[in-house]
Structure 1
Amino acid sequence: MASLKELKTHLRLEALGRRDALDPDWRIEASLRMAGYIGTMDLTHGPVVSGFMPIRSEADLRPSMAALADRGARLCLPVVLDRETIVFRELVRGAPMVSTGFGTSGPGPEAAVLDPDIMLVPLAAFDRRGHRLGYGAGHYDRAIARLHAAGRRPHLIGVAFDCQEVERVPDEVHDVMLAEILTESGLRTFAAPG
């Protein structure tokens, strides 16, 4: 019988393989559809929204972030400080971008550090219950835990393509569920746990 770690690795590799196989032009069109869905998203959870710059075959959130900024959202991007920690620096139009780790870029050290009210979260796989499987480094898990420890409960929205859905993500007691998932098919809300 496979260990939990082996099962997660298998699911992650399969889901990312399906994502990698998507036609790049199709991914662009799908990312633009996502912007249409997120442009109508409820911002009552708060005005500070964290997004991310795409790496590898991820959805491109730049159109979605522009739509949110046009509606008054204050944007921020994750920045890897070390192997354990990410912070969210404010993204301001026209500000210079620097290399921020993992092949992506973001605001430099002069940018304000913000605590997001809404987090658009990258992931490798998700299931219909709202559980997510990240890339394995645990950066977002630790960032969410840090925000919870500070008394903040950001609204978590996973970002993926439909092909990344799996039957069941193996979950553990400490896992935090997504409130919603954004895919090329729309913005889907998950049932509240309990």
Structure 2
Amino acid sequence: MSHLDGGSPPDKRAMRRAFLGTRNELTTDDLRSAATALAERALELPELARARTVAAYVSVGAEPGTPALLDALRARGVRVLLPALLPDNDLEWGAYSGEGSLARVQHGGKTALLEPAGERLGPDAVTGADVVLLPGVAVDARGTRLGRGGGSYDRVLARLAAHGAHPFLVVLLYDAEVVERLPDEPHDRPVQAVVTPSAVHRFTEPRS
């Protein structure tokens, strides 16, 4: 793990910019090889092997690639749910049935997203997932996740808690994005694992 230390925690926005800046330096070959390794590593998780429904997402830009993983899950007979962004930054969900079931959607000045083109199942559909794959830019040794800053997945995690749903929470990252300590807030919900191209890290320590 990389080590972040010092007095007060670094500003989340500055940390986010630093991690995203490093991602943007990756080459096309880097992205392709990392995505292949990430899928192989994630598919070794016993929680994914047992899962009947997985809520996931379609990676964009330099995010750790998910398409190979989505197709591998479908090939196993897993029901895969993908998010669609709502105007208030909340997410609703639709079923993934292959690349042809996705539509590119532009949300204002934000990056265009690939979203399910078929029936929308509503925001609560995620509460039926056995595993939820979360995007992020870093995770620390306690399972604290640093997201992109839009708050969409904070809402997802709050919705899971409100429904008493306890899916296995996994973040997909690059190796250098697993760090010793991140700043956290009272509403942050820790994840159970992070998968990188070279390793799976599980978190069992209570947050303090």
Q: What TM-score, normalized by structure 2, do the two folds share?
A: 0.83
Summarize deviations over 1:97-156 as a string: whole Å, max 9, x none.
223444111212524453222111110122122111001111001011112211212211
> Do the aligned residues in 2 keep the contact of 1:18 with 1:164 (CA within 8 Å)?
no
**Which runs of no fewer than 5 residues in structure 2 stay unpaired?**
1-6
Give the structure 2 partner of residue 40 of structure 1: 44
Match of 1:146 among 148, 159, 164: 159
Q: What TM-score, normalized by structure 1, do the two folds share?
A: 0.88
Match of 2:82 among 77, 81, 104: 77
**Equivalent residue of 1:12, what SS?**
helix
Kindly report the root-mean-square deviation, in angstroms, between the aligned alpha carbons of the 2 structures: 2.2
Aligned pairs for 1:129-140 (under 5 A) are 129-140=142-153
Deviates more, 1:177-186 or 1:69-78: 69-78
Deviation of 1:184 after TM superposition, in Å, equals 0.8
> Do the aligned residues in 2 keep the contact of 1:16 with 1:164 (CA within 8 Å)?
no
> Do the aligned residues in 2 keep the contact of 1:45 with 1:118 (CA within 8 Å)?
no
Distance 2:13 2:8 in 1: 10
Give the structure 2 partner of residue 28 of structure 1: 32
Deviates more, 1:50-59 or 1:131-140: 50-59
Give the structure 2 partner of residue 89 of structure 1: 94
Paired positions, count? 192
Asked if 1:178 is matched to 2:191, the reply is yes
Give the structure 2 partner of residue 156 of structure 1: 169
Match of 1:62 among 67, 72, 91: 67
Give the structure 2 partner of residue 17 of structure 1: 21
> Do the aligned residues in 2 keep the contact of 1:38 with 1:68 (CA within 8 Å)?
no
